[in-house]
């Protein structure tokens, strides 16, 4: 007979799984199935129970981005970086927050500052689709049509099914690209 095995003790550095891991998985399944309104509701309910659940903030931010609800998405990207300052998605969240800041400049009609901010986002992150979409929007507003066409095409090449794909495609047609 073999000796009884000791039950392993949890590591002192182990990070506990979120208490509502199943709730997060269910919300992500809803989102993957295209049921974004239900996913948003489920994630909001989860965050009421677990306000520091970074993964839920990331998922909710992504859901709001897909629904083109910028202010809500920005709030959730901020919450994600607060609760997971070294999380897997921090770099992406910071890129989205840069877009949030630049869109605020656009909303304030600070067009030159917004244009410069979007150009800087693209310069720093050439593979970040949203930067190209918003830079193209600014270029179109400034009648820089050839540059706008290139930006919208880059956006579509990077994220053909993204939340701004229909708008980018419409802009390409309107600009005669």
| pLDDT, tens digit (0-9, with 9 covering 90-100), for 155-176 | 999 999 998 999 999 999 999 9
4-13, 29-38, 130-139, range with the lowest pLDDT = 4-13
- How far apart CA 35 and CA 160 sit, in angstroms, is 20
Q: What are the residue ranges of helices labelled H in the chain?
A: 21-32, 36-49, 54-66, 70-83, 90-107, 111-124, 129-141, 145-158, 165-175
The rounded percent of the chain whose pLDDT value lies above 90 is 53
Pull the structure tokens for residue 137: 């929007």
Q: Which pLDDT band holds residue 141 (cuts at 50, 70, 90)? A: very high
- How far apart CA 157 and CA 154 sit, in angstroms, is 5
pLDDT confidence of residue 65: 82
pLDDT confidence of residue 3: 42
* pTM for this prediction: 0.72
pLDDT confidence of residue 138: 95
| pLDDT, tens digit (0-9, with 9 covering 90-100), for 59-118 | 998 888 877 787 888 898 889 999 988 878 888 889 989 998 998 898 899 999 999 999
pLDDT confidence of residue 20: 59
Nearest residue to 59 (alpha-carbon basis) of 25, 28, 33, 104? 28
pLDDT confidence of residue 42: 93
């Amino acid at each position: 007979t073999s000796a009884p095995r000791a039950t392993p003790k949890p590591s002192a550095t182990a990070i506990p799984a979120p208490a509502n891991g199943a709730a997060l998985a269910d919300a992500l399944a809803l989102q993957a199935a295209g049921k974004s309104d239900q996913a948003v509701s489920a994630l909001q309910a989860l965050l009421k129970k677990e306000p520091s659940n970074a993964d839920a903030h990331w998922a909710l931010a992504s859901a709001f981005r897909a629904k083109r609800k910028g202010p809500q998405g920005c709030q959730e990207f901020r919450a994600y970086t607060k609760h997971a300052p070294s999380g897997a998605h921090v770099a992406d969240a910071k890129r989205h927050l840069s877009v949030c800041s630049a869109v605020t400049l656009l909303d304030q009609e600070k067009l030159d500052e917004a244009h410069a901010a979007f150009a800087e986002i693209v310069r720093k992150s050439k593979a970040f689709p949203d930067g190209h979409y918003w830079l193209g929007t600014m270029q179109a507003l400034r009648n820089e049509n050839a540059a706008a066409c290139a930006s919208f095409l880059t956006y579509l090449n990077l994220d053909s099914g993204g939340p701004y794909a229909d708008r980018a495609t419409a802009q390409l047609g309107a600009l005669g690209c």
